[in-house]
Amino acid sequence: MSEIRCRSSREIFANQWLRLREDEIEYPDGRPGRYTVIDKQDFALVVPFDEGGFWLVQQYRYTVSSRQWEFPQGGWPAGSTGSAEELARAELAEETGLRAGRLDRLGRLFTAYGYSSQSYDLFLARDLIPGDPDREDTEADMVHRWFGEDELRAMVRSGEFRDAHSVAALALFDAFVAG
């Protein structure tokens, strides 16, 4: 099967977090079209599992005007780079203060490939060692808390745990660890 071809691309907007581009495309049958794409830095998400439960973080999410629980996740700050595993370890320590004695890769997923090129690596953190968080200024309102496995699953069912990346991470946890 043929693929859509990009004929030209132009940047519409860019800032430190994302780039918005508009591509003039050609469909497999030759028809022209246009596609708008959000390019964002890839990130890492960590599933901290300890004593039959999970460590979650909660912060205010401006775009949905509410505080939300999720697994620790994030990208490298400007000017920093490293492996996905290094990023996962850094995000876990930064947001929760926890250090992972063991870190296993669960997979790599796309964020929303219908309109974005961003993807993320998922890791399971175990043998956790407590410490103090070292949060960025934008995470000043963040809190972290341990939830029993049954409690977290009840939060998913009730709609209280709604971060799509975190729910997907729980599904990968089930597929590779709990199952």
pLDDT at residue number 95: 96
CB atoms within 10 A of CB 6: 13
CA distance 13 to 124: 35
Domain range 43-106+117-178, its CATH number among 3.90.79.10, 2.60.120.590, 3.40.50.970, 3.40.250.10 = 3.90.79.10
Q: What is the tens place of the pLDDT at every residue in 139-172?
A: 889 999 999 999 999 999 999 999 999 999 999 9
HSE-up of 107 (CA within 13 Å, CB side)? Answer: 15
Q: In what order do the strands lie in the sheet with 32-40?
A: 5-14, 18-26, 32-40
pTM: 0.92
Whether the per-residue pLDDT at 1 is higher than 60: the answer is no
Burial 114-131 (b: 16+ CB within 10 A, else e): eeeebebbbbbbeebeee
